[in-house]
Structure 1
Amino acid sequence: MPRRGMFQTTNASVIDGYCEISKPVDLEYKGGYPGDDGTAVKQPHANPSNSDPVSYASKVALVKPKNKINFRYIADTNQMEDVDVMIPMESVRKVQDRFTNVLFGYFLGKRLAFPVVDYYVSNKWEKYGLQKCMMNGKGFFFFKFSTKEGMEQVLQDGPWLIRNIPIFLKCWSPNTELKKDELKKIPVWVKMHDVPLAAYTEDGLSLIASKLGDPKMLDNETSKMCEDSWGRSGYARAIIELNADKEMKDAISVAIPNVEEGGFLKSTIRVEYEWKPPRCSSCMVFRHSTEMCPLKVTELVQGDNKDKEKVDDQGYKEGNKRKKGKRQPIQVKDRQKFVYKPKVRADQHDKYKPSTSKVPPVNLTNSFGALSSNESDEDNDQDEV
């Protein structure tokens, strides 16, 4: 039977088109069976040396556009006051024809990354006829649909929340100004923790959610709890349209009637917002926070004299309005004179004082007194002689 090369491949190379991979030479050995003539047949090489060489530049050369853009100098004949250039109507109509059935959207606060938005809309809006998506430098997203019906259906099936952050959609037209509106209502996913089991009904959850805003939709697990009161009871999750005129509550107190004994049982429900929109308590809108309100003038207190200076939203002071007065003389306290006092330990106080007690006499006897007495006797003997 024929033997094939061990590293032979018949699949197309991954880098095919840039450089071709040479295949090992296959040898079909005709031996070991009747009719063997002992010859080996050499298969043709995948990249024969006698073929015409192809340069690398031709492989990676950029494909030129079919229609060359006529980018040229044009003198503006139409003049308008306070305007340098006036776009002709024909150019606007061309772009309008390209942007038919297009929605544009934006996020409040920090926007999401384009790959995240593109992945979401590609999966969710494919059934509506979404064709392509793009984003400009100011964070606005554009979505093109194949039909007008699909585009309108996307607006009707909203609100759309991407990673729990709502995206606000509008129809695009050449006269539309791309700006983020100051909104009064925003849909947000809200978790209501520690909801009593007796409140897991359509009316019960609707009453609780109405204290936060306008209830829109429950998630699947919470809907099951409303049907048979069995399932996830840790929290109820719902989309609630918040109103900028109302403060965002963090807790709701609930009273539940006691059917058997009468009276009521009180309970507290903790509210968790999966995304908190920036809300201004002065303007009563959802776009910027109260601290970053452009209409607010901040008063700064500096030093002990409490001089107030008005500062705008960008941190610039209106002017130095400090009162000019006489300078008070600087009072400097006199330093305490340094007096040297030697420090004596307590055990050294009585060392140098004369003793008043009677001291016993000191014995002055010499143990070698016998020697001195002998010497004196010898001297006396010599004197007598």
Structure 2
Amino acid sequence: MNHCKAMLIGFATFCAFYANAQDSLFLTIDRADKIFVEKNLMLVAGQLNVDAQKALEIQARLYPNPQFTAGFNTWDADNKKLFYAGKSGEKAFEFDQLILLGGKRKKQIELAKQNIRQAELELENLMRNLKYELHKSMFSVYFDLLTLVKYNGQLQQLETIIASYEEQEKKGNIALKEVVRLKSVYIKLNNDKTELFQAIQQEQKDLQLILQTKQFITPRLDSLAWDKYEQLTILDSLQQLALQYRADYRLTALSKTMTELNVQYQKSLAIPDLTLGTSYDQRGNAFNRQLMLTVGVPLPLWNRNQGNIRFAETQTRLSVVNQQTMQAAIESEVNAAWYTMQRSIQEYQKTKQIYNADFFDVYNGMTVNFLKRNISLIEFVDFFESYNESVAEVNRIRKQLVLSAENINYSVAYPLY
């Protein structure tokens, strides 16, 4: 049976278990990636955050609004009039405009731009994390379903053998203990199958959450290019790729840039701004219809923004430490992923040499000879259990190889496999 048919049977079994066979979704990795980008709500929220930061850049570009003030005499004691603002009354107008000095507006705009870049990198890092979880779940379900197919076939054979032995036991041809021994093997294998169902169910929950669907997902990965998984990139190259493409590392570099900008901005806040204005007073102190030019500036005698400047400078030094810490963590992560991939390749290559069609042929031969009573129950059970373990182990090694490759992709944030 080829992998495609095996996956269909395995998925049909899985769906039947949940009584939901009519609601299924067969996906390749590329198709799953497309649905993920279109429907994942966490990505939508991340994009909205980027849009919100772009709106704040628009706000940072705006100039301060001018201020207009009007004053009217409430009670004219000479003329006994309320709110009298005629020729002999009193009214005054004032117009003021705040002029930002020290490059404050320019630095606010630059900080807003960096906030947009930060939101974009956070979205990129979120996508990297979620896509890794998506691929890991897709590959896990794929290989677990392959194992499930094998388990189902073996359980069906055992059911047939047990039914035959029960008939022979009733006739007194074999001992009851042989039937019990076969049932024990069946129970053990069925328990393994149940554990596999539970693992698939958990992966299905993760897939449905990431893809925002209620359908059961069956991966279609029959064309896996195994040759590429046997190739291992040089470790130094992976380290360089990680520092170039990892969004979380670029976020630390950006954080350093932003703290340096903040130092400049806090220093600019220590520079007093200028308020220019003009005022008109109908009956001014010096003469009637007094028109004046006003200039206002705060005197930086006590508050020169010293605390905020020192805080920003400390944050800059902290950002350098954070960047160094992140670089060390990434290098360690890449090292671990590389060594894991190396071991996975070695395991896969050994398994590929050992495990072949002979295993299945021998299994069929052992089953036929056991039914013909050419081999003993003990020999058959030992071989049957060993064969089950081999089947599960082969799929585990294949899954581990692919997941190790995905871990390489994740650790360097670049699709090498």
TM over 0.5: no
- Structure with a larger share of its residues in strand: 1
- Asked which structure has the greater RCO (Cα within 8 Å, sep 6+), the reply is 2
When Rg is computed on C-alpha atoms for both structures, the one with the higher figure is: 1
Normalising by structure 2, what TM-score? Answer: 0.15
Normalising by structure 1, what TM-score? Answer: 0.16
